[in-house]
Chains A and B, each alone.
Chain A
Amino acid sequence: MMSDCYAIRTEDLRRVFRAKRREAKKQKREVVALDGVSFSVGSGELFGVLGPNGAGKTTTIKILATLLSPTAGRAWVAGIDVAKDPKRVRRHIGMVSGGETSGYGLLTIEENLWMFSQFYGLDTRVARARIKELLEVVGLADRSRTKIYHLSTGMRQKMNFVRGFLTEPEILFLDEPTLGLDVQTAHTLRGFVSNWLAEHRDRTILLTTHAMHEADELCGRVAIIDKGRILACDAPATLKRELQRDAIFRLRIADLADARGVVGTSPDVTQFTQTASEAGVDVDAILTHDGALTQLLASVEAAGGRLLSLEKREPTLEDVFLHIVGHGFEDEIREGGSA
């Protein structure tokens, strides 16, 4: 079958939730969480699904992890149809979600991890060795005998990570794994993910996030999802390049009121905007090539302008998102904050 060469593949996935009776009065009765989602992930990839709250990230992961059936469309994980043979899919996967509260409070970190490893039939000696090793990697080794109801959110999530990677699954689903963590812990765990994948090159990770920099930093490819639809899917660098092939230069010029005649008419400038400033004028310009800059600066000087500062700004994934989705994340997050 075609799907066999991919670790993950979805074909026009659709998922509709019926709102609970209590909520039904207030809102429309049906929520379309996924509205025709298709993508494929090759073996060995770290694939990101980036989108604001309520975009359908968790729904996607749950369908792939056999926890939710799709309303329509199909999905294969490790070449196996998730709807037809969930049992077989489960032998190939692992899952860690942000803000997880799993495990038993009365057990220690070590004991909890061992318990979960048994559900995968791991040999106890192998499990112990891996737990020890992984706890060291995430910096939790000295806490291995701590009962988990004593753990902070960050420590808990480190433990959850160890749980997910302990069984060395072929395909791992990480659902907003750094959600709610402090900068330091999030950084540690991101490092952990990329190191693990570097050491286990045949494994595949699908990670969802609403943190652009996380997707940018970690993922080989990113699907941008909003309102249950994939709007773009490519390497972060490609996405950024496609949005703006050329870098944006910002020139702050003094002693010049209008730069249009000097800069705007140059054949090397593809896009030009200017705003008046106290000292003179601020110019945003996109050039056909960086080399044209020298010529441009010379013209500014010749016209009597004085360069106060020059800044070259790379487009971020945030720019890409803004451009494609037409709105940023922040307003969205605030809206859905209490969900």
Chain B
Amino acid sequence: MSAPSQWTVFWRTVVGRAYPRIIGAQREKSWVFFEIFLPLLQVTAYVYIYRAIQAPPEFIGFVVLGGAMSAYWLNVLWSMATQLYWEKETGNLELYIVAPTSRMAILLGMAMGGLFATTLRAVAVITIGTVLFHVSMSVSSVPALVGVFLTTLVALYGMGMLLSSLFLLFGREAWHLSNLLQEPVSLVSGFYFPVRALGQVVAAAASILPITLGLDAMRQLLFPAMLGKFRFLSPGVELAILVGLAILFLFLSHRALAFFEKLARRDGRLSVRGQ
């Protein structure tokens, strides 16, 4: 029997590692609760605020879209960033390293699996939100919308992969870091309002988080009022930056992982001691 090619190993690894994400997520009902109910709750709160202050009706749409996208952010934060650290604790990390496969394939599989499972949640949030709050959208360009959406996800999960490698280096502080990141990010990314409201400087700084520009561009492509009055940059520019971010994050995560592996092999930190 001839050995499988590196590409075969790569893709089989991606599928293999995506599998527990896709299947496991359906088996654990509490995750459904967290990833659908919590964003919806948040969305509802903002919807009532906007109604109370008589904000333009588009804001309800902004909020529903933001709520759906926040499912991805939570997934990246809690299931990507902390993942490798957790894998180290259980001993999976060593088995990943020993296997003749690419670490990036493992991370990619994790991302794809998470992406798939989360998309189900995001669709649920969008659908329930739209029906519940009578949101009307008008898509100006389907290809542009799909392009921005997918690029945002690639950049976002690329960032997740980078965080995952970095959290390995930080060790035990990973969880605190995730906790620390959760709230500020949902604020500065403009999950529940156009990011321009924070001012150009904060918006520009927040643009390092892919979801910021992704949301801004998607809102423009879905709600004409956003395009005119509330946008940060033009969708074209935002898409270009997102592509740049995606490449940057993927590249950096690759480097960070290689760096961690070297360091860990030198210092004996690939597994938790105590056997």
Interface residues of A (CB under 8 A from B): 17-18, 58, 62, 65-69, 86-87, 90-91, 93-95, 97-104, 106-107, 111, 114-123, 175-176, 179, 339
Partner of A103, one of B5, B28, B92, B100: B92
CA of A93 to CA of B101, assembled, Å: 12
Question: In the complex, are the beta carbons of B95 and A68 less than 8 A apart?
Answer: no
CA of A93 to CA of B99, assembled, Å: 8
Known: A58-B275, A67-B270, A91-B3. A119 touches B97 (CB 8 A): no
Distance in Å: Cβ of B3 to nearest Cβ of chain A: 7
CA of A319 to CA of B143, assembled, Å: 77
Question: In the complex, are the beta carbons of A104 and B98 less than 8 A apart?
Answer: no
CB contacts (< 8 Å) of B100 on chain A: these are: 87, 90-91, 119-121
15 A-B contacts (beta carbon < 8 Å): A62-B268, A66-B97, A95-B98, A101-B90, A102-B95, A107-B20, A111-B23, A114-B19, A118-B16, A119-B99, A120-B99, A121-B4, A121-B8, A121-B9, A121-B100
**Nearest residue, chain A, Cβ from B99:** A119
CA of A87 to CA of B92, assembled, Å: 18
Question: In the complex, are the beta carbons of B95 and A18 less than 8 A apart?
Answer: no
**Nearest residue, chain A, Cβ from B95:** A102
**Nearest residue, chain A, Cβ from B7:** A121
Distance in Å: Cβ of B139 to nearest Cβ of chain A: 37
Known: A95-B98, A97-B275. A122 touches B265 (CB 8 A): no
Question: In the complex, are the beta carbons of A116 and B95 less than 8 A apart?
Answer: yes
Known: A102-B90, A115-B16, A120-B101. A107 touches B23 (CB 8 A): yes
Question: In the complex, are the beta carbons of B24 and A119 less than 8 A apart?
Answer: no
Partner of A69, one of B92, B94, B266: B266
CB contacts (< 8 Å) of B8 on chain A: these are: 121
Known: A58-B275, A87-B100, A119-B101. A106 touches B24 (CB 8 A): yes
Cβ of B183 under 8 Å from chain A = no
Partner of A119, one of B96, B268, B275: B96
Question: In the complex, are the beta carbons of A104 and B95 less than 8 A apart?
Answer: no
CA of A104 to CA of B24, assembled, Å: 9
Known: A118-B12, A119-B13. A106 touches B99 (CB 8 A): no
CA of A58 to CA of B271, assembled, Å: 12
CA of A17 to CA of B24, assembled, Å: 38
CB contacts (< 8 Å) of A68 on chain B: these are: 265, 268, 270
Question: In the complex, are the beta carbons of B27 and A106 less than 8 A apart?
Answer: yes
CA of A107 to CA of B23, assembled, Å: 8
Question: In the complex, are the beta carbons of A118 and B270 less than 8 A apart?
Answer: no
CB contacts (< 8 Å) of A66 on chain B: these are: 97-98, 265
Distance in Å: Cβ of A101 to nearest Cβ of chain B: 5
Partner of B16, one of A87, A119, A123, A175: A119
CB contacts (< 8 Å) of B3 on chain A: these are: 91, 121
Contacts beyond the supplied A67-B270, A98-B275, A121-B12: 18 A-B pairs with Cβ under 8 Å: A66-B97, A67-B98, A67-B271, A68-B265, A87-B100, A90-B98, A94-B98, A102-B90, A106-B24, A114-B16, A115-B20, A118-B12, A118-B15, A119-B12, A119-B16, A121-B4, A121-B5, A179-B275
CA of A198 to CA of B265, assembled, Å: 34
Question: In the complex, are the beta carbons of A107 and B24 less than 8 A apart?
Answer: yes
Question: In the complex, are the beta carbons of A101 and B91 less than 8 A apart?
Answer: yes
Known: A91-B3, A118-B15, A121-B4. A102 touches B92 (CB 8 A): yes
Distance in Å: Cβ of B274 to nearest Cβ of chain A: 7
Question: In the complex, are the beta carbons of A120 and B92 less than 8 A apart?
Answer: no
Cβ of B121 under 8 Å from chain A = no
**Nearest residue, chain A, Cβ from B27:** A106
Question: In the complex, are the beta carbons of A104 and B20 less than 8 A apart?
Answer: yes
CB contacts (< 8 Å) of B28 on chain A: these are: 106
